[in-house]
Amino acid sequence: MASTRATVELIADKRRGRVLAPGEIRRLVDGYLQGQIAEAQMASWLMAVCWRGLTAAELQELTAAMAESGGRLELSGLSGPTVDKHSTGGVGDKVSLVLVPLMASLGCFVPQLSGRALGTTGGTLDKLESIPGFRCELSSSEILRVVREVGCVIAAASPELAPADRRLYALRDSTATVQSIPLIASSIVSKKVAEGVQCLLFDVKVGSGALMPDISGARRLAVTLAELASGFQIRAAAMVTAMDQPLGRAVGNALEVTEALDVLSGGGPPDLRALVLEEARELLLLSGHTADPSEALDSGAARERFNAMVRAQGGAPEAPLPLGVRLATLDAPRSGFLSRLDAGAIGLAAWRLGSGRSAPSEPVDPVAGVMCLAKQGAAVERRQPLLELWGRPGQDPGSALLALKRAVRVGSSPPPPRPVVLEHAAGD
């Protein structure tokens, strides 16, 4: 039976690094949602978790309480495995736009509930909304209908799924308690448990354009996510992937959709295609399904599935995407090898042009963004254009250009090659 110790004792215990008794964390979460536990008390407890961490059992209890705070998608009765992936977010990360329809074209069902941009990393929903007519805000019954009819959907999580995460995330955002591995893991996994999928792949990005700037933190988050999801009977794996430079060449909403369509048609930048294929193979392994994902890209099967998903969500896949104008270019300062193409600085430049938002209610500009004309390791000539800034006619690119100047370094020798996928981690 859960103890009835006062909330202040639970905060003090966590502050001292003690383990809470079974049931106590659930009581905290439920009490907070019901208004019996004050914002200040919850914020204090979260700060104590940032410093002291949680045991595996405490983390499981926190995640379960968050997942069970709302409803769950009812995915039973589908004729194939249900799969999804979660990326911790990066600059130019448009993998979901390709991977979701690709997996559906291979016989899996993918009900991806996704988020919007906040800060300098883009949001999958904002990217998709640059397609004329596309609707991300679907009811649970619409989500299920699209998954059944098309095999995949990418939609906003409804407020009824894991509502505890919404409340806790907003509190963490305003109390500098986002950066905690157990809090990040419980936030991500609670939403995926509510989504109800059988197989889950986590893509933990590491580098200047990522939530996790260093490899040791990224590795710990990857293992924590995979193990935590496994505790909920989800077949889970995690990868740590590079985010020191943008993924692909396009950064910005409509620019990224165009690039994703290239990959869906068998082309596109090699790093993006390689990561999509690696993630598809991992998900196939987890689901026990055998198929050739590269064939589905090259044959147009994945592209057809994308078009079907867009139509089912009200969009017009053949309509032209909004296109801005080239505002400025940044040229190579000297001849040599591109040794740095900093994802964080490029994400900041795109954000300053309007591709992202700084508050949840702000709109984003579909045409704003940055195109990378060369990637790290490329041999470049002095004055060769390296980066293009895109936006509205007459827009001043000054502050974005300032951010970009820090993004580039040209050295006299090529940097060591760095793979996109750095490490793999599996759940229990």
Distance between CA atoms of residues 346 and 182, nearest Å: 29
Distance between CA atoms of residues 119 and 405, nearest Å: 20
| Helix or strand run (H / E) with residue 270 | helix 270-287
- Count Cβ neighbours within 10 Å for each residue of 133-156 and write b for 16 or more, e otherwise: ebbbebeeebbbebbeebbbbbbb
DSSP alpha helix (H) spans, 151-252: 163-174, 181-195, 215-230
- Exactly one of 172, 235, 305, 357 is catalytic; which is it? 172
Q: CB 265 → ligand URA: shortest distance, Å?
A: 30
Q: CB 169 → ligand URA: shortest distance, Å?
A: 6
Q: Which is closer to ligand URA, CB of 11 or CB of 183?
A: 183
Asked if 150 and 103 count as a contact pair (C-beta separation under 8 A), the reply is no
- Exactly one of 13, 126, 165, 244 is catalytic; which is it? 165
165 is catalytic: yes
- Exactly one of 14, 27, 85, 86 is catalytic; which is it? 86
191 is catalytic: yes
Q: CB 409 → ligand URA: shortest distance, Å?
A: 29
424 is catalytic: no
324: Cα within 13 Å, side-chain hemisphere: 28
Distance between CA atoms of residues 404 and 299, nearest Å: 38
Q: CB 244 → ligand URA: shortest distance, Å?
A: 19
Q: Which is closer to ligand URA, CB of 211 or CB of 368?
A: 211
Give residue number: closest CB to ligand URA: 187
Q: Render 413-428 in DSSP notation, one character per residue.
A: SPPPP--SEEEEEE--
Residues 6+ apart with CB under 8 A from 139: 158
Binding site for ligand URA (CB under 6 A): 88, 169, 178, 183-184, 187-188, 211
Sign of the CA dihedral with 177 first, then 193, 236, and 107 last: negative
Q: CB 229 → ligand URA: shortest distance, Å?
A: 13
Residue 19 token pair: 């383990």
| SS3 of residue 395 by DSSP | coil
Q: Which is closer to ligand URA, CB of 130 or CB of 187?
A: 187
- Exactly one of 187, 190, 208, 287 is catalytic; which is it? 187
Q: Which is closer to ligand URA, CB of 190 or CB of 287?
A: 190
72 is catalytic: no
Q: Which is closer to ligand URA, CB of 178 or CB of 321?
A: 178
Radius of gyration of the chain (CA): 22
Q: CB 88 → ligand URA: shortest distance, Å?
A: 6
Q: Which is closer to ligand URA, CB of 134 or CB of 169?
A: 169
Active site residues: 86, 165, 172, 187, 191
